[in-house]
Structure 1
Amino acid sequence: MATYELTLPVDDATIEKLHVGDIIYLNGQVCTARDIAHLKLRELAEEGKPFPEDLRGGAIFHAGPVMKKDAQGNWHLSVIGPTTSIRMEPHADFVGAQGVKILIGKGGMGPGTRAALQKYKQVYVQACPGCAVVLAAGIVGSKAPHWFEHGMPEAMWPLQAKHFGPFLVTMDSYGKSRYDEIHEHEQKVEEEILAKLK
């Protein structure tokens, strides 16, 4: 295991250095995107329109932050925690094709994502649930949101990160998944328990 401090955007060579078990911290712009934001991005792509933010080499955080606006109209982050990533599984290949390099969330993703991570040189990293205040300390600013009409959690927030993390690499660009390993271990333990009950 190794620890890396990465500055976004990143390239394929940087992603290829990362393996399951590594820890990363991020600097640069990280965009939040949940269900609605993914659908809006797909709509723009289908219409041949540009995205509101350049996602190439960047990171998408499956999260709905709590933001506050000051008297000058500037947005400030209060807390941010990961949302369940498997909901974004149908968008895995699409997101990879847009050049996104790092997916951040919780709970892992499925076979479609595993294939996309290998195809497009990406990683999926786990944000610790329950650490929303700690994670917020790594965000130093935010641009105005996109698609705010769908609500604060579903808007896309372009956040400015500094030593943002830590995040654990749990799915890498080589097809390895910590979630598969856990599932296999669970099955083995279950079989052992059932065998003792016979």
Structure 2
Amino acid sequence: MEYQLTAPLNSNDVTKLIAGDVLYLNGVIITARDKAHERLLQWSKEGKKIPFDLEGATIYHCGPVMQEKTALVAGPTTSARMNKMTIELLKRFDIRAIIGKGGMNITKALRDKCVYLTYTGGCGVIAAKQIKRVVGNHWTDLGMAESVWILEVEKFGPLIVATDAHDNDMFDNVRKKADQQMKNFK
């Protein structure tokens, strides 16, 4: 199926999506890479107020190249290195979607609450054109790529639902099929 949804998302938005669905997002997404994940966890543990709203949030694993308040390039970064931190973030915050590339090993943590969406690598200029405006920029001390950018997007995608909220993981399914094919060659 193909969907067009508006972020922030709710549980109904997330639970209707099935691995393999195509999604275009409108609304607000939040970039966060390694250092932003670390800070979110640190501040949460210390009881500090997070300076942006994560209720129904869509987190985009992206380190955009910005010129003032215009995105020049905003492609996805590899998500797997944030597996462990993401599991903890999902326990602490109402994150409903994660966008990145390459998949994540967090299927059980997503159950009933969140989806992992993949955006094709190498499409950073296209992604940047789907950003309509910068709503905010936080933790600028982390640098341009690692700071948190709050972005308003329109028809952001196509995004593929790689891991849904029902334990279906396209990346895992491909690995299993490949393993089976390799056994057939022996």
TM bin (shorter chain):
over 0.9
Which structure's CA Rg is the greater one? Answer: 1
Tell me which amino acid in the other structure corresponds to 1:105.
Answer: G
**How do 1:34-183 and structure 2 match up within 5 A?**
34-69=33-68, 75-97=69-91, 98-110=93-105, 113-119=106-112, 121-183=113-175
Q: Report how many residues are paired.
A: 185
Tell me which amino acid in the other structure corresponds to 2:39.
Answer: K
TM-fit CA distance, 1:174: 0.4
TM-fit CA distance, 1:95: 2.2
Structure-2 separation of matches of 1:167 and 1:4: 10
Q: Which moved more, 1:141-150 or 1:18-27?
A: 141-150
TM-fit CA distance, 1:39: 0.6
Structure-2 separation of matches of 1:93 and 1:128: 23
TM-fit CA distance, 1:93: 2.6
Structure-2 separation of matches of 1:18 and 1:47: 34
Q: Which residue of 2 aligns with 1:185?
A: 177
Structure-1 separation of matches of 2:28 and 2:136: 13
Q: Alpha carbon RMSD of aligned pairs, Å?
A: 1.1
Structure-2 separation of matches of 1:55 and 1:165: 21
Describe the SS at the equivalent of 2:39: helix
Tell me which amino acid in the other structure corresponds to 1:151.
Answer: G
Structure-2 separation of matches of 1:45 and 1:30: 20
Structure-2 separation of matches of 1:53 and 1:136: 21
Name the TM-score, length of structure 1 as normaliser. 0.90
TM-fit CA distance, 1:186: 1.2
Describe the SS at the equivalent of 1:54: coil
TM-fit CA distance, 1:173: 0.4
Name the TM-score, length of structure 2 as normaliser. 0.95
Q: Which residue of 1 aligns with 2:19?
A: 20
